[in-house]
Chain A
């Protein structure tokens, strides 16, 4: 019994990280109607930024975390301005290829600067693990849960209660109408990219604290899995991304523990295929009717 519970906790931990990343995918998709392929690599940039700040520049931990989030947010805005904004009216295929290009660019740049060998990185979370009955929850898991919860609550508040959040919702509904209502569409899109990338940075920090090694491709797989989570929850839906992330984390850890650790990736992607076949709009997504 205890081992199942521990697997569930592991699943929730990786699921929380997926949820944080999936939020970025979903928000960007809702507003820009594009899949930001480079989103996964922002996690990697966050991890390296944290490493450089803490291990090389000896910045205090809290300041380093804060700076990492800012670096990633700014990077998100720059990517949007340079690569995606000129293509807003271009066919979807061009945007997608550009996004892949950006993702590849970030990976190769990291490869060039930091070399392919993994860098060991000591976790910055020093919290003791706690025991409830016969199960142990590690400090990293605990901090991951708390931070994810805080991020989700504040994001929900931000979207639903603030003026900028309302603007984001309006732009995702109808860009042209939102512009007519006096909403600065470009600014809103930039803010969305900034928030999404900021969340990816948080996910990246939690990710390296968990695995304690950094390499240029570290963002690719979690990025794709988080995308699966976003689709599972219904892309464009913020609560959907949260639920999708957690469910995916659970599926992954259970299949790792009870089926095969090598096949767990295949099972996760199998989930994507099944979801797209059975309910392409995802758990909480809206059906979009296509007009001719």
Chain B
């Protein structure tokens, strides 16, 4: 908790650190513009820029539930689907200027997903661990089968001809907003409460932290950003199918979070970038991709609990970014 103290002492937002971050963000945008507009990258590589941003939003938001709340959510793709469909229906049926329409779609998609996150969060707040994971998985599947059976969502064919509004500027802005909002949220009073629920919910409850409230809060915020990512997803591919948002999609996001280190936002970002580029570079061995994901999940978990990591940490040889907060979710 040393880190948090430092943050609360510095009340001004105009610190040197924040200034550097701001410069980095702006510089990042110029680099992105150069990459997206210039001739440096092939068409195929350029098409990865938007998915990369979407994956970062998804991973950072899932990191809130898995990493900071310490509960496994396997329905992240479901929230993404809700957001994506809501946004697509709005842009398909509204005739407003592009910018306004897309802003409305993004916000509405996020809010819709958040509402569902709330509805799902309410019953599952009584559960934890394995049960919660299964219920979120079940909800993901329910959302998918409902989307398949409804008329106005286009059934199994899904929605087509969604305007391609997602461009790198939009995605970049929203991605930066997501990262800033979530990393500040985690350091806030509420965020600390959420971490305390992860560390020991009985102790947290005994000092007056409302465990259920914070669980739902984490869920709703994660769902909101997943919904926003879903809107980008639909407006990037221009088609949405219920089949896109299956269990495997949720696992893909989970792999990013796990690889980045649970409870480590920077790690999630790096992992999201890596896991978007890597499959494209390894096109020739595409069949091995999911196998690789599985191995990553298992290996990361075994590495975490083997004595090897503790030894590395004690000897100080472990790279700093790999250090995550201790996870005693028991």
Which residues in A have some Cβ–Cβ distance to B below 8 Å? Answer: 34-35, 83, 86-87, 89-98, 100-102, 104-105, 107-109, 111-112, 220, 224, 227-228, 231, 260, 262-263, 265-266, 269-270, 272-273, 276-277, 280, 290, 292
Known contacts A98-B298, A107-B290; is-contact A280 B305 (Cβ 8 Å): no
Size of the B side of the interface (Cβ < 8 Å), in residues, is: 51
Interchain CB contact under 8 A, A94 and B294? no
Interchain CB contact under 8 A, B126 and A101? no
How far is the CB of B116 from the nearest CB of chain A, in Å?
13
Provide the residues of chain B in CB contact with A102, threshold 8 Å: 294, 298
Q: A90-B304, A272-B138 are in contact. List 12 more A-B contacts (CB 8 A).
A: A87-B301, A93-B66, A93-B70, A93-B72, A93-B129, A101-B294, A101-B298, A111-B287, A273-B135, A276-B123, A276-B124, A292-B202
Alpha-carbon separation in the docked complex, A83 to B294 (Å): 12
Which of A90, A269, A290 contacts B142 (CB under 8 A)? A269
B148 within 8 A of A: yes
How far is the CB of A81 from the nearest CB of chain B, in Å?
12
Query: Which of chain B's residues 281-330 have a Cβ closer than 8 Å to chain A?
Result: 287-288, 290-291, 293-298, 300-302, 304-306, 327-330
Alpha-carbon separation in the docked complex, A101 to B252 (Å): 11
B137 within 8 A of A: yes
Query: Which of chain B's residues 242-287 have a Cβ closer than 8 Å to chain A?
Result: 247-248, 251, 254, 258, 262, 287
Interchain CB contact under 8 A, A92 and B329? yes
B47 within 8 A of A: no
CB closest chain-B residue, reference A34: B130
At the interface, is chain A mostly helix, strand, loop or mixed? helix
How far is the CB of A122 from the nearest CB of chain B, in Å?
28
At the interface, is chain B mostly helix, strand, loop or mixed? helix
Known contacts A87-B302, A90-B304, A273-B123; is-contact A100 B254 (Cβ 8 Å): yes
Interchain CB contact under 8 A, B130 and A266? no
- Residue pairs across A and B with Cβ atoms less than 8 A apart, 27 shown, are A35-B134, A83-B302, A86-B306, A87-B302, A87-B305, A91-B328, A91-B330, A92-B130, A93-B70, A94-B304, A100-B254, A101-B298, A104-B294, A107-B290, A112-B287, A224-B134, A224-B141, A228-B134, A231-B131, A260-B149, A262-B145, A263-B145, A263-B146, A265-B142, A269-B139, A273-B138, A276-B126
Return the 7 tightest CB-CB contacts between A and B, nearest first. Answer: A101-B297, A105-B294, A269-B138, A108-B290, A90-B305, A262-B149, A104-B294
Alpha-carbon separation in the docked complex, A220 to B146 (Å): 19
Provide the residues of chain A in CB contact with B330, threshold 8 Å: 91-92
CB closest chain-B residue, reference A272: B138
